[in-house]
Structure 1
Amino acid sequence: MKKEGTIFKNLDGFVLVTTFFFLWFAISFGDSVEDIVAYFLILTFGILHGANDLKLIQTSNSNAKKKSSFLKVSSYYVFFILICASLFYFLPSLALLTFVLFSGYHFGEQHWSSKFKRRSKATLWFYSSYGLIVLSLLFVSHTIEVNTVIENITGHYIEPNFFSYLLFFNIGLFAILYLLLKKNRSLESNWIREIFYLVVFLVVFKTASLLWSFAIYFILWHSLPSLVDQIKFLYGGITRKNIILYLKTSLIYWAISVIGLLVLFLFFGRDSNTFIAFFFSFLAAITFPHVLVMTRLNK
């Protein structure tokens, strides 16, 4: 148990140090190299952190004394993914907007859930505003590239000023909610450290390419802490044996996801802008059910 505590204590430090290493990588290498490494990290750690949802659902049902067969759970899960994927074909604008909102909430929940003493209705808005600050920083730092992705998915162009308005609105909302939650003693955190993290994100986003910027945040600040939480929930602690067990139970879903992305690359890889649009659409389709699973576990 002592060793496990040391791992968790040093996780934030490891993430921060690795972030600066990745920042150096962005300065030292071109966008093409960054993008290759970014795809690799997203295909491994990124998709892996959402590849054990079925096991998490079954475990949570077992803890709640609700028995659900693997076939039943997997059928519902796959059906939900297909619905989400079809939204990007029939209602791309709505699907993309929903994806951004879901992602904002999910990023905020992962970062802040362990810092809450008690939760309230304001928690949802607090999570969402923080996650949308991170996403807005990314959008403001790569307005042209982000607009290219949006146009390829929805056919619509977003005025650059909109991203700035989105950023300032969520900063204001987050600041108000933060002060209220701290006043009510619902939240434990160091506001100086949290502002420092946001400044680090901005520096990274301004320095790295769009895909590399997304990968740095998505892998180091979201997926890695999520993997730690999931392994702890499923198996009780972070050990070599438990990591291997996690990899075994997530292998099939991870392989299916990677194969699906490779097929997309074969069809659209020659047009990088089109492929990135399909790439984020694919990530969105598998993100929706994952967000719901993790929200359920956190509750």
Structure 2
Amino acid sequence: FGILHGANDLKLIQASSTHTKKKYSFLKVTSYYVLFLLICASLFYFLPGLALLAFVLFSGYHFGEQHWNSKFKSQSGTTIWFYSSYGLVVLSLLFVSQAGVVNVVIQNITGYAIPPKYYSYLLFFSGGLFAALYILLTKNNKVVSNWIQEMFYLALFLIIFNTASLLWSFAIYFILWHSLPSLIDQIGFLYGEVTKKSVILYLKTSFIYWAISVIGLALLYLIIGRESDTFQPILFSFLAAITFP
């Protein structure tokens, strides 16, 4: 689901250019996308710490944007901070709950271990910022949501993160609360409405992008090998490439 929703960026970029009346050829869009992927791979290989930090920050914003965008009545200068703080709350809940395993992953990528207390600092900071901005935005009638429901979701995430493994914790959150809603948003953007017909059309037109992404990642795994020092940088650059755009 994650690859399906992320690997369709080329089609979305082309559709977006049509909406803004800026025409971009498929070859041009593909060239920029491949260049971006190579830049991500280079950063993860030569500057893994900086690249991983950027990946976490952009992922936090991406998760927050997808969850809250439809709830905003109007955008403001604080929107980007609100999106980012919410996404970082979710990620820091995961980091705190799975600190030992997360540290192993980070150390494999960067060569450095992060003291678990810093995950708690991130949770307190992002949680405080999110709460303050939520109160401010709801008071100014810029965002409409049920705060009880939002708190329930965060509590549910914490329970899942503390009972499942790191992989399953992230997979459950990513599929149910991010990928599926994002797929619905993509279908609505591309076809104007979400119907059985538009869903089938989306799956048909997106299959080639999904297949290329899966086959490419599988080939890299077979050629390079999971234990190779270069596999994780390439894997995270791939994830970054389908997250950042």
TM-score after normalising by structure 1: 0.77
Provide Cα deviations, 1:130-153, integer angstroms capped at 9, x if missing partner: 000000000001111100100111
Q: Where in structure 2 are the equivalents of 1:129-168 lying within 5 Å?
A: 129-168=85-124
Q: Where in structure 2 are the equivalents of 1:1-299 lying within 5 Å?
A: 45-266=1-222, 267-269=224-226, 271=227, 279-289=235-245
Indicate conservation of the 8 Å contact 2:225/2:231, yes or no: yes
Instruction: Structure 1: state its 5+ residue gaps.
Output: 1-44, 290-299
Provide Cα deviations, 1:90-110, integer angstroms capped at 9, x if missing partner: 111110000000000000000
Distance 2:221 2:124 in 1: 36
Amino acid at match of 2:97: S
1:199 to 1:253, Cα distance in 2 relative to 1, 3 A: same
Shift of the alpha carbon at 1:274?
9.2
Give the secondary structure class of the aligned counterpart of 1:156.
Answer: coil
Structure ranking higher in helix proportion? 1
Shift of the alpha carbon at 1:218?
0.7
Percent of aligned pairs sharing the same letter: 73
Aligned length: 244
Distance 2:234 2:27 in 1: 29
Give the secondary structure class of the aligned counterpart of 1:49.
Answer: helix
Distance 1:201 1:114 in 2: 21
Shift of the alpha carbon at 1:250?
2.0
1:79 to 1:131, Cα distance in 2 relative to 1, 3 A: same
Indicate conservation of the 8 Å contact 1:52/1:246, yes or no: no
Give the secondary structure class of the aligned counterpart of 1:255.
Answer: helix
1:223 to 1:73, Cα distance in 2 relative to 1, 3 A: same
Instruction: Structure 2: state its 5+ residue gaps.
Output: none
Shift of the alpha carbon at 1:276?
6.7
Distance 2:95 2:233 in 1: 15
Distance 1:79 1:276 in 2: 19
Indicate conservation of the 8 Å contact 2:14/2:26, yes or no: yes
1:224 to 1:109, Cα distance in 2 relative to 1, 3 A: same
Q: Which residue does the alignment assign to 1:10?
A: none
Distance 1:78 1:171 in 2: 36
Shift of the alpha carbon at 1:56?
1.4
